[in-house]
Amino acid sequence: MTTVPPVLDVRDLTVDVRAAHGPVRLLHGVSLQLRRGERVALVGESGSGKSVFARSLIRLDDAMTVGGSVQFDGADLVTASERRLREVRGQGIGLVFQDPLSSLDPVKRIGDQVMEPLVIRGVPKREARERARDVLDRLGVPNAARRMDAYPHEFSGGMRQRVCLAMAIVAEPAVLIADEPTTALDVRVQEQVMQLIEEISADGGPAVLLITHDLGLVAGFAHRVAVMYAGRLIEVAGVDDLYADPRHPYTRGLLDSVPRIDLHEGDLTAIPGTPASPFHPVGGCPFHPRCAAALEHCAHEEPLLTVLPSPMPFHDRQVACHRAGEIVHGRTA
Amino acid sequence: MTDLLQRPERLRIRPRVRRRTARRRMTWSELATYGAVLVLLVLAVVGPWIAPHDPYLVDQRNTLLAPSGEHWLGTDGTGRDLFSRLLAGARPSIIGAVVTVLAAATIGVVVAAIAATAGRVVDGIVMRICEVVLSLPVMMTGLGLAVALGPSQKSAVIALILASWPSFARLARSEIRRVMVSPHVEAAQVLGVSRWRLLTKHVLPNSLDTVYVKAAMDVGGVIVIISSLSFIGAGAQAPSAEWGAMVESGSRFLNNAWWVTGAPGLAILVTSAAFSLAGDALRARLDPMLSSSLGEAPR
Amino acid sequence: MSVDQRVATYAAKRALACAFIVWGIATLVFLMIKAIPGDEAQSAAGITATPAQVEQVRHRLGLDHSLPVQYVDYLGRLAHGDLGTSIVSFRPVREELTERIPASVELVGSAMLLDVLVGVPLGMLAAARFRRTTDNVVRWVAILASAVPLFWLGLMLQSFVGLKLDLLPLSGSQTIGKESPRVTGMATVDALLAGNLSGFGDAVAHLVLPAVTLSIPFIGFVSRITRSSIVGTLQSDFASVVRAKGASESRIVVRHALPNSLGPIVTFAALQFGWMFSATVLVESIFGRPGVGSYLADSVTQKDTFAVLGLVLFIGTVVAVASAVADMIQLLVDPRIRAAQVGAPA
């Protein structure tokens, strides 16, 4: 497995935006690999930089200055030409956003919007329409052929998100990035959409990067989990390892704030303090002001993401914490 | 707490007025536009006094002279010094427009405040009136009224005030209603702050930003309309150095002395553009949607 | 109710609102007439009228009745299409007006065509190059264009393009001897109908300067409206989604942002039709075109107050109807508005 080159190889990705008083760093050197058939979840509080990560991979925003490297399909997307990027967008990497209503052009018919990634690439209208219909069918849009002539406001929230999924996968990308795809949906519909994404990624489908703040979605879905805090990855681990044995105090805090069937209600706790802001960076470990296990040292030196030795093969995990070695099950030994 | 409720007037629940103005430095182009407006306003006041010649002195021997050292912009059809007339004309042209906009804005805000607080019937009637007046182009309302009142600069200003207050009333009303339902105003209401105090201390200060911007932007347009009215004879009359009237009287000599028409028209263009640019700069400053880059966006 | 029925209901409602506006304008004009200082009958009869003639006019206009009665009478006359009588030519305003409408429609139509063809692409260009040099240049050009006094621009164009360079005719709507028989009253259309090609070229040549003059300030307005509307759309979420599909920036602007911005643009274009119609008062007299505007300008010069007010009322009505039509067009081009106004189809 390790010998297979990753489909998406992000190394040391940095993102800055211009603000009133000079540039502000939103991502501080993030590295993450995605392998074929893999489902990875990127979790963190809102404002941690998850969405910025997704958008900067294909350089969606002009205002962002991107550094580092994003290897995809033999090219570095950070330095690639606008033309090359347009080829990758949609066809190489598909994106699904949080709010399905605002993701759709309100004055265009559904069918035309689903066909668009194909039409842009010169696929004949008739063929594009057929393929769009097939994808909508597969995603469980009833009466797809007829519904393609409808407008977004005539669809329910769940159906709209299916349409958005269809737009993202119709050109058969190698990577699907879903940015909070269920946040705007009812709980019941959430499950259906997650189910669909899982089905899409099965048997030869795209590798999936799920971005979410909801750890409850991750457990049954992802193979690996990357935890982001203040624009840095602070822990990356296999899903079982992470749930069973979180090594970073922040990961522990996140898990404790999610209701779980195997724990009593009284055990729910919130992480104290307020989330980090890129506009007010702190020295040392970005989490230290909120960390119960923080030592004086933590305020001065930023811990790097380092590999923890694991007794089992393929279970390498990475943590960025000075005390990772002492912490077992999220608590100091 | 009971003590507080009994004397609500002494409470100080001042909203935190969110102005983004102070945060950004002025750019050189903003400075230039504000500066230009300032210079024009000063000229409008002192113009007639610094004119090198008497702007109304007829000199039949020296008509339609080309620009020279003696007459910087030449002379008009009756030998009056064009440059002096331009300076003298700054007053009716610019001050006329500024007065029009200030009066229209004041009337509009007062009417809006009444409409927003007086109840639905009054509000409905006021808004219907505004709707009717606004459906007529300002130029037409102005023209009709100015002609009915008897063509003069005063009639033109009065007519334009009557034609343009509703647009301010409509804007101010929607802003006032928006602020009225904001949490800090509701909090003050619950604490029993008097209606008048609520309006003057809490609502109006927070709802007038867009009115200022509109006022600034409107001056440029009103300058053009006032001069248009003079041009067709519904505004300032013959000997007046009002710029529109000057264009009209110059137009008879178009084929042998185009500058007599060109100069006052250019003055209108420059002045109107300066006010519009200043209004635009002000809007960019006060409008959070357009002025915020990604970094400043509320999180 | 079916969608068609709902559309019809909406149209009826909009027509009613439009009628209310027209009634309001009529009332406004009635008040303006009452604002005329001095004896209204004397003004209406003209300065040269004898006392007997004045009394006759007073009786004919019902000015010997109370104000409410006069008001009802006034509305009654309007309902019959009576816009008043000129105190200079003693002709009914309506008669002269109908002769002149086609020429104004011709001018306003071609000016609108020009300004949409130039203004909308200019706004799209600025939006696509948001906050870059092109955007700034377009902004300056637009502000300058909208600050231009029309009457002055007309005179300058006339002086340089017409007089000095002798490229285009100075005034009128066609050269004497090249006219075609009057059918529609629009010189260009009449020439085409008569198969008179040189006459058509001549009429178009006469139309160029006035149409360019009339359109320039409006090009400024249209480009700014288009720009801000498209910029708004480009910053919305779905624009990101389309970008993520691999679409080029120009495709996003043309295929997505423009259709989404059509609503404001159409509304503005309709309002503009009214404004342009009222601006013909400045342009037509300069270029000696026999339209509604030059009639209005002449009436002002001759202090023909009743003709002026009758024309103001007429133009007001044109504006009100144009804006109602704009709302109906919006309904047709924008499914969101259709949904909001008449409900989504089941």
Phi and psi (nearest 5°) for A207?
-70, 145
Position A131, amino acid = R
Q: State whether A17 and B296 contact (CB < 8 Å).
A: no
Q: Say if B284 is an interface residue toward chain C (CB within 8 Å).
A: no
Q: What is the CA radius of gyration of chain A?
A: 21
Q: What is the pLDDT of residue B15?
A: 45
Q: What is the pLDDT of residue B206?
A: 81
The CATH number given to whatever domain includes residue C219 is 1.10.3720.10
Task: Give the residue-averaged pLDDT of B65-75.
Answer: 76
Contacts of C155 in chain B (CB under 8 A): 247, 251, 254, 261, 265
- B143 vs B58, higher pLDDT: B143
Q: What is the pLDDT of residue B108?
A: 95
Q: Say if B139 is an interface residue toward chain C (CB within 8 Å).
A: yes
Q: What is the pLDDT of residue A160?
A: 92
Phi and psi (nearest 5°) for B282?
-65, -40
In a domain, B202, yes or no: yes
Q: What is the pLDDT of residue C341?
A: 63
Single out the residue of B84, B142, A126, A225 nearest to residue C312, CA to CA.
B142
- Dihedral over alpha carbons B105, B111, B113, B117 (to 10 degrees): -170
Q: In chain B, positions 201-230, which contact chain C (CB-CB < 8 Å)?
A: 220-221, 224, 227-228
In a domain, C70, yes or no: no
Q: Which residues of B touch A (CB under 8 A)?
A: 23-24, 293-296, 299
Residues above pLDDT 70, as percent of chain C: 95
Q: How confident is the model at residue C35 (pLDDT cuts 50, 70, 90)?
A: confident
- A203 vs C109, higher pLDDT: C109
Closest in B137, B143, B234 to C275, CB measured: B137
Contacts of B148 in chain C (CB under 8 A): 32-33, 35-36, 305, 309
For every one of its 333 residues, what pLDDT tens digit does chain A have, with 9 covering 90 and above?
455 788 999 999 999 998 777 888 999 999 999 998 899 999 988 888 999 999 999 999 888 899 999 999 889 999 999 999 999 999 999 999 988 888 999 889 999 999 999 999 999 999 999 999 999 998 989 999 999 999 998 898 889 999 999 999 999 999 999 999 988 888 888 888 899 999 989 878 899 999 998 888 898 899 999 999 999 999 999 988 888 888 898 998 888 877 666 655 556 677 777 788 888 888 888 898 888 888 888 888 888 888 877 655 555 788 898 887 776 555 554
Q: Which residues of A touch C (CB under 8 A)?
A: 55, 58, 60-61, 86-91, 94-95, 97, 99, 102-108, 116-117, 120-121, 151, 153-154, 164, 167-168, 171
Domain that holds residue B211: 27-49+75-288
Q: What is the pLDDT of residue B4?
A: 38
Q: What is the pLDDT of residue C345?
A: 44
Q: Say if A63 is an interface residue toward chain B (CB within 8 Å).
A: yes
In a domain, B231, yes or no: yes
Which residue bears the tokens 């599909």?
Answer: C245
Q: Please work out, in degrees rounded to the nearest 5, the angle formed at the alpha carbon of residue B102 by the alpha carbons of B33 and B180.
A: 100
For residue A23, the distance in angstroms to the closest alpha carbon of chain B comes to 9
Phi and psi (nearest 5°) for A237?
-160, 160
Contacts of C275 in chain B (CB under 8 A): 137, 139
User: Which subunits sit against C, judged by 3+ Cβ pairs under 8 A?
Assistant: A, B
Closest in C147, C279, C320 to B272, CB measured: C147
Domain that holds residue C216: 93-342
Q: What is the pLDDT of residue A157?
A: 87
Q: Say if B236 is an interface residue toward chain C (CB within 8 Å).
A: no
Average pLDDT, chain B: 80
Distance CA B48, CA B43 (A): 8
Contacts of C334 in chain A (CB under 8 A): 107
- B25 vs B257, higher pLDDT: B257
Position C252, amino acid = I
Q: State whether C256 and A108 contact (CB < 8 Å).
A: yes
Q: What is the pLDDT of residue A121?
A: 92
Q: What is the pLDDT of residue B26?
A: 74
> Domains in chain B: how many in total?
1
Q: How confident is the model at residue C346 (pLDDT cuts 50, 70, 90)?
A: very low
Task: Give the residue-averaged pLDDT of C218-234.
Answer: 90
- C15 vs B23, higher pLDDT: C15
Contacts of B24 in chain A (CB under 8 A): 20
Check whether C41 has a pLDDT greater than 50.
yes
- Tell me the DSSP string of B110-169: HHHHHHHHH-HHHHHHHHHHHHHHHHS-HHHHHHHHHHHH-SSHHHHHHHHHHHHHHHHH
pLDDT tens per residue, range C163-186: 778 778 877 777 777 778 888 888
Beta strands in C53-112 (DSSP E): none
Q: State whether C315 and B140 contact (CB < 8 Å).
A: yes
Q: State whether A20 and B23 contact (CB < 8 Å).
A: yes
User: Which subunits sit against A, judged by 3+ Cβ pairs under 8 A?
Assistant: B, C
> Domains in chain C: how many in total?
1
pLDDT tens per residue, range B180-230: 888 878 888 788 777 778 888 888 888 888 888 889 889 999 999 999 999
In a domain, B253, yes or no: yes
User: Taking the alpha carbons of A141, A146, A152, A155 in that order, is the dihedral positive or negative?
Assistant: negative
Residues above pLDDT 90, as percent of chain C: 33
Distance CA A253, CA A251 (A): 5
Q: Sheet of A8-19: strands edge to edge?
A: A22-34, A8-19, A64-72, A75-76
CB distance A64 to A51 below 8 Å: no
In a domain, C72, yes or no: no
For residue C313, the distance in angstroms to the closest alpha carbon of chain B comes to 9
Q: What is the pLDDT of residue B270?
A: 94
Q: How many CA atoms lie within 13 A of A332 on its CB side?
A: 8
Average pLDDT, chain C: 86
Check whether B8 has a pLDDT greater than 60.
no
Q: What is the pLDDT of residue B77?
A: 75
In a domain, C11, yes or no: no
The CATH number given to whatever domain includes residue B94 is 1.10.3720.10
Q: What is the pLDDT of residue B6?
A: 40
In a domain, C33, yes or no: no
pTM attached to this predicted model: 0.81
Distance CA A49, CA A45 (A): 9
